[in-house]
Amino acid sequence: MDKKYWVPALERAQEVLKLLAEQPSKLKLTDLSTATHINKSTMFSLLHTMEALNWVVKEKGDTYALGAMFGLLGNAYFTGMSLVKVFTEKAEPYVARIGETLQLAKLEEGDIVYLAKKEASLHVRLISEPGMRLPAYATAMGKMLLAQLPDDRVQALYAGGAFEAFTPHTVRSCDELLAQLHEVRRTGLAIDREEIVQGFCCVAAPVRGRGGEVSAAVSTTMPMHQWAVKQGLAAEAIRQFAL
């Protein structure tokens, strides 16, 4: 990107905002200054300005969190996306049919970003929320989206990177991941068996644009004891929902 018209203050502000998104209500001015290598005087000015704009809020104990403006902007961003609109309009009957939660996500580098979620009326609530990121290799939707890439692109995404083990079932190597992606391409479905959360299984299908390109993925998630009963129904329903 041409940095001729780059605004360094905005770049510094983004560094701060990303830290606050990752560690809400935990970081003070000094912590932010140390983490970003921005001197305290400049950090004070940044925080003071962002607080006035409702970008951040100063809490008890002098820690900072994201402000209400990001809730407003985030809602506008996700609501305005056509994929989210279609998902929201179509999800209800499929949630009722499967009796489990449905989710929509897209791929950003090596992560998936959740775009929308329609929950079933269950006592167990999933941790995923719109805007949340998770490593693609450990999720069904992530594997579905990674399967659309050539193997060398997948290898480049995870070159030199350790595969964090969220559970004993999480993929541990790029070779293991590639083998799973080949199976995803063969079957047209991706399955996560307790890889991101112990005790839960997820099945995902691709969402295609008008030209046939895969733009996102949808999934349904359920406890393993429900998967043993519903896996056929879930796979069929999620395929139909994705069309």
Q: What is the pLDDT of residue 84?
A: 84
Q: What is the pLDDT of residues 12-68, one digit of tens each?
A: 999 999 999 989 899 999 999 999 999 999 999 999 999 999 999 999 899 999 998
Which runs of E-coded beta strand occur in 62-185? Answer: 64-66, 101-108, 111-118, 133-135
Per-chain mean pLDDT for the chain:
89
pTM: predicted TM-score of the whole model, two decimal places: 0.67
Q: Name the helix (H) or strand (E) containing 15.
A: helix 8-22
Domain 80-242 has CATH 3.40.50.1170: no
Residue 156's nearest CA partner among 178, 139, 134 is: 178
Give the start-to-end residue ranges of the domains of the chain. Answer: 8-72, 80-242
Fold of 8-72: Arc Repressor Mutant, subunit A (1.10.10)
Q: What is the pLDDT of residues 166-208, one digit of tens each?
A: 999 999 999 999 999 999 999 999 999 999 999 999 999 999 8
Q: What is the pLDDT of residue 191?
A: 94
